[in-house]
Structure 1
Amino acid sequence: MLKTFKLGGVHPAENKLSANKAIEKLALPKSVFIPVAQHIGAPAQALVKKGDQVKVGQLIAKSGGFVSANIHSSVSGKIKKVDLSMDSSGYPKQGFYIDVEDDEWEDGIDTSSELVENFEADSKTIIDKINAAGVVGLGGATFPTHVKLMPPQGMKAEVLLINGVECEPYLTSDHRVMLEKAEELLVGIRLLMCALQVNKAHIGIENNKPDAINHLNKLTASDSAIDVVPLKVKYPQGGEKQLIKAVTGREVPSGALPISVGAVVSNVGTALAVYDAVQKNKPLVERVVTVTGKSVAKPSNLLVRIGTPVQDLIDAAGGLPEDTGKVISGGPMMGKAISTTDIPVTKGTSGILILPKKEANREQMKNCIRCTRCVTVCPMGLEPYFLMTVSDKQIWEKAEGNNIMDCIECGSCSYTCPADRPLLDYIRLGKGKVGNIIRNRKN
């Protein structure tokens, strides 16, 4: 029987239109914009200025604290200016405008496709290399990976979970990485195990990717330390707490982190970036991005340099369809609509979804009919209808008291609501306000 989490969940149409599309390397852009904040935590501090020449892989902004990440140039050329530009959130962010001149890499970076399996590095060396390379979680959260590999005092990792679920509809970049970069991925997993000093790793993959399950099963057949765990297709199976529950049976308490039950979760793209960082001395300067949609001429999985304009990806997939109603950074459940395609690909850009007008239009919000469907599908056991109400009325103490910060923003509530109420939108606003109140209280 396939494993899954028990509480809540929905089954949106999968629409994996690009699942059979091999990864293609996107041509170098003419220019890039590389933000200094592409991660959870403090923005990185600029090390270069207007007029400086930079190479691919060169450190251009140093992490601004423990929870932060280094930023490297993804291209070689001249810094045109250091200024603000809009990112996918719609807010202006500081970064580097770079005019691309050629493709000269920093010395010491191995750009070959040759597999490097063996390593003798100890835990600290691996973590230091991951930190230096600016590796963050590529599943969307963008939490600095080196921080996740250093559990708080009194806590110890017991098991590593590799998230190959990719439960978000339409997105297929992780799927292709598991098929095309499986050997490198497995080395990355072993490096993560060494860094955490754990003896067991599980790769969780939903059963709608049988080719990836079979491929990784063959490659790990002789390795008892790593196993592949097929999972039932159910959204949001890829949530950290849901994946931990499904694979290990352990339940992360309210307000706690996965490490509280001895688990550390890493996305497959992150594990591949760890391989590049440790075995190839290659910083995180590119990633695989899915470009897809029902009207898209050529749904694709593209290997893209960080900072590349989103419009370049859309052009490579056949251009913007005439019936386009919305362009989303990410998937349809957790992604966010963007107001312009003149924004950069960042470390957290997993996909670009182009929705036709018919699917993009929101229905008029109606009164809540007290059906409790949103409660039934919430994988965190929350009451979304109530959290929306208290967020709308700005009753922050009740929002906090009813665990609004536990919301993983999966969108299952909004998806299932027959009254078309924008539950997640209000809960996101409430989370932001309550989060600020909690931080100010601690200060």
Structure 2
Amino acid sequence: MRKIWDIPGGVHPPENKSQSNTTPITSIPLPKEVILPLGQHIGSEAIAKVAVGDYVLKGQVIAEPQGLVSAPIHASTSGTVTAIEARPIPHASGLNALCIVLECDGKDEWIDLSPCEDYRLLDKVEVLAKIREGGIAGMGGAGFPTAVKLSPHANQKIDTLILNGTECEPYITADDVLMRERAGEIIAGAELLAYLLDSPENVIIGIEDNKPQAIAAMQAAAADKAIEVIEFPTKYPSGGEKQLIHILTGKEVPSGGIPAQVGIVVQNVATAAAAYRAVKYGEPLVQRVTTVVGEALNIQRNIEVLLGTPIDHVLQQHDFEPDQCARLIIGGPMMGYAMARSDIPVVKTTNCLLVPSHEEMPEQEQAQPCIRCGMCAQACPASLLPQQLYWYAKAEDTEKLNAHNLFDCIECGACSFVCPSNIPLVQYYRASKGTIRQQEADKVKSDRSRQRFEFRQERLAKAQAEKEAKRIARKKAAEEAKRLLAEQKDNQSSEQQSATAAPQKAPTKASTVKSDDPDLQRGKLERAVAGAKSRVSRAQEQLETGKQEADQARIESLEARLKQAQQKLSDAESKLAEFNTNGAAVQANPIKEKLALSPREKQEKSIATLKKRIATAEEKLAEAVQSGAASADALQQGVEKLRTKLADAESELASLPAQAEQTEESEVDAQVMSAADIAIEKAKAKTAAMANMSDQEKTQAQIESLKGRLEKAQQRLKKAEEENSEHLDAFKSSVEKLEAKLREAEEKV
């Protein structure tokens, strides 16, 4: 004989089980519609995989699990999906939740099932998958997904499997009649669960001694099995998981822990039977045995009801008298909760619908002040201090509540049952648990936000440090270049100065060194490469920030900017590589080269440059069109402008005289003329032309010049608006000033 331990505390409320356990399990007609909440278990709610208008068969998956601690939802009958919307559900909060609504077609037609004659021929992973795909969840408590319980951690060796047939709550007899009528399925389910747990040493079924018929049926079914059916004294709440473990094994589950930590797994007898049918016959969990009881009903019994059946429909099938009803309770009188409406569905955890009359369950008397009698502490099966928890709950002292192990409370209601002051202690504990859970969730959210902020600050600090390092490097390079220039000035001889002097105007020593010194040219190219790299780095950082903001238009603009910066970097590196390969000889003075060209050669070179720019712009345009980028229109306008410039340049080239007709004197003048001289000559020519004009012609010329400047300013403003430039106000001010000047000039005419 196995030793039986006693639990601390506990009470003996009126059992009231004879009203519903004298008749066999029956069924009721199909409802017009079924309402299937997506969250019928602990953990993440399932995700709908059907749409309004879809026709489904009984047993078809209509919602898939989301994450490990979740379970699928199956259609409990055949019909059409008419809605996927928030509906009231059986929950203590009274809130609505997302549900799938099926209009029943009355056929109750099953999908093709996949039975398994011998699950021992399958791998355990496959068997466990069948249980998970069947949507099996705990049917006697909070609805924990069964497949998760049957997958303990590798370091948790399970030596005891317990099936809970206690059903200690008053009025509820669903498990009692199930054990009487389907003991064989429960025993087969126990063997299945033991197989998945690697055959633990002890397989125990615990039943209170107030269920003699169920005990006899279970002992007969387990007669030739390695399964113990243990009878123990009736006491509420011996059906609690931790309490049952202590009664049958003497072990204590640590505070905040789970049974697997002490080598034990506990499952409800109805859950074991459902798991067996899911594996043996391929049937998902679409119906369950529920006790329908209370003096407001003329028929009291246990029924096998489809999940999702509206409670309204269930009550109608039991000759419900609304005038006699004191309240509608989901569950038993100790741990159940009252609902203000009856258009809610039956779910996987609905083991009882209690509909008492006013005489059977009168209104709760008004709570009185606590008299500190200590009866609640004597009745608590978890050895807590309910009185202290009550004070801390009223004071919202969450720190003290945690210190006094509030979450070890199983909300059995024993303390409220014995309280002479009628204080609703359990309601205070439930509210405090909800508050603490919300605070913990907010703290987790806050911690994540803080971590993201700290990471961003660290990233920005790192980027700033890199920028500072690059700035220091550029500063050192500039100082080194200045030092080299000073050395060149000190070492250059007067003979070199006279040899390099031009006949018209002798350049200064500084300009000569700047133009011809190889070290200085190399330093200049290296600085250009460093600057290009810095621009590429900044563009990459801006692009990463833009991606975090998820602004597609800004992302495309930043990608184009990055590509442009990378192209400039490539050009700068190519020039530096060419200089390092060929030496200073390849680094000609660009100003002299340009001035040495004839007008026709200059125009030809300008045309070649324009063609190259057009080819590059057309490549970028093709990429933008192919990727559907928002910058495609702007690139198209740029290509058209370049083509217009090319046409103008070619027209101007055609109007120039042949190179042979140009005088040698003009070539020599162009070669020796500096950029400043050219600018001066242009200014003189313009001044001379203006001097020969009348006042009206001058005003007209000014108007034409202002129109050209205004057109360019408007183009710059449009581009700034497209790019959302930070200098947008300055561009607008420039346009406004030019428009005002143009109006003044036109008024003079």
TM-score past 0.5 threshold: yes
Counterpart amino acid of 2:408?
Answer: D
CA offset digits 1:242-282 (Å, max 9, x no partner): 00000111111111101111110000110011011100101
Match of 1:355 in 2: 356
Which runs of structure 2 are paired with 1:295-310 in the superposition (5 Å)? Answer: 295-310=296-311
**CA distance in 1 between partners of 2:399 and 2:183 (Å):** 47
Match of 2:326 in 1: 325
Match of 2:24 in 1: 22
Match of 1:212 in 2: 214
1:364 has 2:366 as partner:
yes
More displaced 10-residue stretch of structure 1: 205-214 or 354-363:
354-363
1:97 has 2:101 as partner:
yes
CA offset digits 1:62-113 (Å, max 9, x no partner): 0011001110010111000110100112111101111000211111256xxx
More displaced 10-residue stretch of structure 1: 247-256 or 430-439:
430-439
**CA distance in 1 between partners of 2:214 and 2:203 (Å):** 17
Does the 8 A contact of 2:165 with 2:176 survive in 1?
yes
**CA distance in 1 between partners of 2:290 and 2:351 (Å):** 5
Does the 8 A contact of 1:163 with 1:267 survive in 2?
yes
Does the 8 A contact of 1:4 with 1:234 survive in 2?
no
Q: CA deviation at 1:26?
A: 1.8
Which runs of structure 2 are paired with 1:64-213 in the superposition (5 Å)? Answer: 64-89=66-91, 90-101=94-105, 102-108=107-113, 119-199=120-200, 200-213=202-215
Q: 1:37 to 1:159 in 2, by over 3 A?
A: same
Of 14, 17, 37, 1:35 maps to 37
Q: TM-score, normalised by structure 2?
A: 0.57
Q: CA deviation at 1:119?
A: 4.5
Does the 8 A contact of 2:4 with 2:249 survive in 1?
no
- Superposed CA RMSD: 1.7
Q: CA deviation at 1:3?
A: 3.2
Match of 2:432 in 1: 430
Counterpart amino acid of 1:95?
Answer: C
**CA distance in 2 between partners of 1:274 and 1:354 (Å):** 30
**CA distance in 2 between partners of 1:109 and 1:24 (Å):** 26
Secondary structure, counterpart of 1:288 in structure 2:
strand
Q: 1:439 to 1:148 in 2, by over 3 A?
A: farther
Match of 2:240 in 1: 239
Does the 8 A contact of 1:123 with 1:196 survive in 2?
no
How many matched pairs? 438
Match of 1:420 in 2: 422
**CA distance in 2 between partners of 1:62 and 1:116 (Å):** 26
1:401 has 2:403 as partner:
yes
Q: 1:389 to 1:351 in 2, by over 3 A?
A: same
Q: CA deviation at 1:300?
A: 1.0
Q: Structure 1 stretches of 5 or more lacking a match?
A: none
CA offset digits 1:131-163 (Å, max 9, x no partner): 000100000210000000111342121111000
Q: CA deviation at 1:4?
A: 5.0
Counterpart amino acid of 1:45?
Answer: I
Q: Which has the higher strand share?
A: 1
**CA distance in 2 between partners of 1:438 and 1:201 (Å):** 38
Counterpart amino acid of 1:386?
Answer: Q
Q: CA deviation at 1:440?
A: 4.9
Q: 1:247 to 1:418 in 2, by over 3 A?
A: same
Q: CA deviation at 1:295?
A: 4.1
CA offset digits 1:383-404 (Å, max 9, x no partner): 1121122112111111111100
Q: CA deviation at 1:122?
A: 3.6
**CA distance in 1 between partners of 2:292 and 2:6 (Å):** 29
**CA distance in 1 between partners of 2:442 and 2:261 (Å):** 24
Q: CA deviation at 1:20?
A: 1.4
**CA distance in 1 between partners of 2:392 and 2:98 (Å):** 34
Counterpart amino acid of 1:69?
Answer: A
Counterpart amino acid of 2:177?
Answer: R
Q: 1:216 to 1:9 in 2, by over 3 A?
A: same
**CA distance in 2 between partners of 1:265 and 1:234 (Å):** 19
Counterpart amino acid of 1:418?
Answer: P
Counterpart amino acid of 1:106?
Answer: I
Does the 8 A contact of 1:122 with 1:195 survive in 2?
no
Does the 8 A contact of 1:405 with 1:435 survive in 2?
no
**CA distance in 2 between partners of 1:180 and 1:135 (Å):** 21
Secondary structure, counterpart of 1:340 in structure 2:
coil
Q: CA deviation at 1:124?
A: 1.6
Counterpart amino acid of 1:276?
Answer: R
CA offset digits 1:224-255 (Å, max 9, x no partner): x2010001100001100000000111111111
Of 61, 64, 67, 1:62 maps to 64
**CA distance in 2 between partners of 1:108 and 1:144 (Å):** 21
Q: 1:25 to 1:116 in 2, by over 3 A?
A: farther
Q: TM-score, normalised by structure 1?
A: 0.96
Q: CA deviation at 1:198?
A: 2.6
**CA distance in 2 between partners of 1:30 and 1:116 (Å):** 35
Q: 1:127 to 1:103 in 2, by over 3 A?
A: same
Q: CA deviation at 1:118?
A: 7.0
1:335 has 2:336 as partner:
yes
Q: CA deviation at 1:184?
A: 1.0
Q: CA deviation at 1:60?
A: 0.5
Does the 8 A contact of 1:71 with 1:134 survive in 2?
yes
**CA distance in 2 between partners of 1:121 and 1:3 (Å):** 37
Secondary structure, counterpart of 2:387 in structure 1:
helix
**CA distance in 1 between partners of 2:123 and 2:73 (Å):** 24
CA offset digits 1:272-329 (Å, max 9, x no partner): 1101110010100000010001342111101000000011221222213532111100
Does the 8 A contact of 2:8 with 2:381 survive in 1?
yes
Q: Structure 2 stretches of 5 or more lacking a match?
A: 446-749
**CA distance in 2 between partners of 1:116 and 1:5 (Å):** 41
Does the 8 A contact of 2:7 with 2:238 survive in 1?
no
Counterpart amino acid of 1:275?
Answer: Y
Counterpart amino acid of 1:91?
Answer: L
Higher relative contact order (CA 8 A, sep 6+): 1
Does the 8 A contact of 2:5 with 2:250 survive in 1?
no
